Chain A
Amino acid sequence: MTNATQSPATTTQVYRVYIKATPEAIWDAITKPEWTERYGYAARVEYDLRPGGAYRAYPGEEMAKVEGVPDVVVDGEVIEADPPRRLVQTWRMLMDEEMAAEGFTRLTHEIEPIEGGATKLTLIHELENAPKLAAIVAGELESEGAGGGWNWVLSGLKTVLETGTELDR
């Protein structure tokens, strides 16, 4: 067949998980520090949930012990906040100079209730011109101790909401 159907290689990553929890509970688990400290990288987030509002993630207890960890590990700006359904923001990783230099990427969380009391959470990370960040959020550096990326973060989020206990780290 022809190459006419070939679309440009996308740098976007998409993750989806079904969680037995309400959209409100999932929204809180993404935007409130008392929840974000309990799964994934265990960062303490700070959101000003209005367009133009600041987003910052501070290292959690474990991460803060690592040498050279900056005071703020991720920063960004809220583009759209429609609780508990949709959160769009910019997102820049500051853990590493090269990744910080790749600049801001765009992160979207979509939360949608489905039949039977479960909720569908879709995370879309647009990673144009950010190959280093793309590798880390895809979990490609997990064996080097960089964590399992969004895949790992979302399974941790599911576990903490459904069972109330943290995944083993």
Chain B
Amino acid sequence: MTDDDRVFKALADPTRRFLLDRLFERDGRTLGELESELEMTRFGVMKHLRVLEDAGLVVARRSGREKLHFLNPVPIRLIHDRWIDKYAERQVSALADLKSELEQSS
């Protein structure tokens, strides 16, 4: 699996998107806090966090006795630069081509 595959796979699940949204709201949360917002067992939440960590979307760091989870936006930015920009650009340039074609033929 490539890095992009891992990110898309991680984002393809509503629970994991929910966890990312919670971290976007307030970063650096413990497993306990995240668990308290979901109707799910601790193991279930851990499993989802593991997938998010493998994709690089969440970074866990120790702070004293606690393990805090941080949202890492870099992989989404990289996908944006690689995919979204590319197709958005093509649409714009296709319109520009159409415009010059129409202007030339008139």
Contact = CB atoms under 8 A, between A and B. Distances in A.
Q: Do A and B bind each other?
A: yes
Interface in B39-61: 56, 59, 61
A64 interface: no
Interface stretch (B9-17, B70-78, B90-98): B70-78
A7 B28 CA distance: 9
Contact of B27 (A6, A12, A16, A122): A12
A107 interface: no
Contacts, number: 62
A152 B32 contact: no
Contacts of A6: 33
A5 B32 contact: yes
B interface, over-half SS: mixed
B66 interface: yes
Contacts of B66: 7
A1 interface: yes
B26 interface: yes
Contacts of A167: 81
A9 B26 contact: yes
Nearest to A149: B73
Q: Which of A9, A148, A151 has the most CB atoms of chain B within a 10 A radius of its CB?
A: A151
B81 A155 contact: yes
B3 interface: yes
Interface of A: 1-2, 5-7, 9-10, 12-18, 122, 124, 139, 148, 151-152, 154-155, 158-159, 167
Interface of B: 3, 26-30, 32-33, 35-36, 56, 59, 61, 63, 66, 68, 70, 72-74, 77-78, 81
